[in-house]
Amino acid sequence: MDAASRGFLVFYVKSQLKLKYRYTCLGFLWNFLEPALYLIVLSTIFSVVNRMNIQNYAVFLFGALVPWRYFEQTVNSTMVSIVGGEWLLKKMYVSPFTFPLTRWSIASIEFLFSFVVVLLIFAFLKKTWTVHLVILPLSIIPWAILGLGVGLMCAVLFTFFRDVRPIVQMLLMFVFFSSPILFRRDLFAEHTLQAMLLGLHPITYFAALFQKPVYYGAWPSWKDWAITFAVGSVALAFGFYLTDRFKEKFYFYL
């Protein structure tokens, strides 16, 4: 990436973050209010209709739901980034990575704001605090890498085939409901088919990075770290490869 694209990336991200709230009354506060309202609604609903028999279900749910929402947000907004950058990409040279990285950075920065709120809500919900929570800033890194990688792949695909968007959204929904975010992994007895499938599900390990410190009061295992970093890096490398491979064709499909 050349210096001009980098400079543009930084300035554009800043201006988009400023613009988003420029014409709202509460302005910057929305960064905190939005996730807070979302989580308050969810926790109220689940504390009223709690049939999952998980103690402190809200804490469990938020543990993995918060990073998942971030992941979903990055993939969705990065996917449309190259097509959305048409206004510039057709008129002036910028690195093909500029717009995907812009969208990803905005989603990541917004997530960091919402994370502050999440920690405050945890403070209300959780009865005991454990030292394990300090690992959370590290736990987000594999999610961020995975989000950028998958986002880049989708961005390239979406540029060439516009029907990719509903397909990706459907796949994301499938991955969400099939992974232990809504339910506990030990819902299924060991050696059952479901348990085995969950063991093969990459998001199981991504979710563990948050669920273990938040809900179980434990450190994520080495296996969790190894698998998540490996999956994330492969996705990122493939995303970069695809973008680089097809960058010269984007113009004709914008």
Partner 1 sequence: MATVFKLENASVAFEKRAVRHTSLRCALGSIGKRNRTTKFYGLSGVTLAVEEGEHVGLVGRNGAGKSTLLRVLTRVITPQEGSVYVDITKHIVPLLELGIGFQPDLTGRENCFLAGTLMGYSRSEISDKLDGIVRFSELGEFIDEPVKHYSSGMFGRLAFALATDVEPEVLLVDEVFGVGDEFFMRKCIIRMQRLMQSGTTSIFVSHNLDFLVTQCQRLIWLDKGCIVMDGDPQEVASAYREHEGLAS
3 lies in the site for partner 1, by CB under 8 A: yes
94 lies in the site for partner 1, by CB under 8 A: yes
| Residue 73 beta carbon to partner 1: minimum distance, rounded to whole angstroms | 21
CA torsion angle for 49, 36, 113, 177 (degrees, to 10)? Answer: 20
For residue 229, give the nearest of 145, 108, 115 by alpha carbon: 145
- HSE on the CB side for 180, CA within 13 Å? 25
Tokens of 170: 């459907």
* 204: number of Cβ within 10 Å: 21
Stretch that binds partner 1, among 9-17, 73-81, 126-134, 217-225 (CB under 8 A): 9-17
Q: Which of 48, 53, 163, 222 binds partner 1 (CB under 8 A)?
A: 163
2 lies in the site for partner 1, by CB under 8 A: yes
164 lies in the site for partner 1, by CB under 8 A: yes
Stretch that binds partner 1, among 84-92, 119-127, 187-195, 237-245 (CB under 8 A): 84-92
245 lies in the site for partner 1, by CB under 8 A: no
Question: Do 159 and 251 form a contact (C-beta atoms < 8 A)?
Answer: no
Q: Which of 24, 29, 162, 173 binds partner 1 (CB under 8 A)?
A: 162
Question: Do 21 and 31 form a contact (C-beta atoms < 8 A)?
Answer: yes
| Residue 91 beta carbon to partner 1: minimum distance, rounded to whole angstroms | 5
Q: Which is nearer to partner 1, 7 or 199 (CB)?
A: 7
Residues 6+ apart with CB under 8 A from 214: 59, 60, 62, 63, 122, 126, 132, 133, 136
49 lies in the site for partner 1, by CB under 8 A: no
Tokens of 51: 């049939």
Tokens of 36: 């807070």
Stretch that binds partner 1, among 70-78, 83-91, 125-133, 191-199 (CB under 8 A): 83-91
User: What phi, psi does 204 have (nearest 5°)?
Assistant: -55, -45
| Residue 167 beta carbon to partner 1: minimum distance, rounded to whole angstroms | 8
Q: Which of 51, 200, 222, 252 binds partner 1 (CB under 8 A)?
A: 252
d(CA 125, CA 40): 11
144 membership: H or E segment, kind and range: helix 136-160
| Residue 78 beta carbon to partner 1: minimum distance, rounded to whole angstroms | 18
Q: Which of 1, 7, 116, 197 binds partner 1 (CB under 8 A)?
A: 7
Q: Which of 19, 25, 48, 131 binds partner 1 (CB under 8 A)?
A: 19
Question: Do 2 and 98 form a contact (C-beta atoms < 8 A)?
Answer: no
Q: Which is nearer to partner 1, 92 or 123 (CB)?
A: 92
Stretch that binds partner 1, among 109-117, 144-152, 162-170, 237-245 (CB under 8 A): 162-170
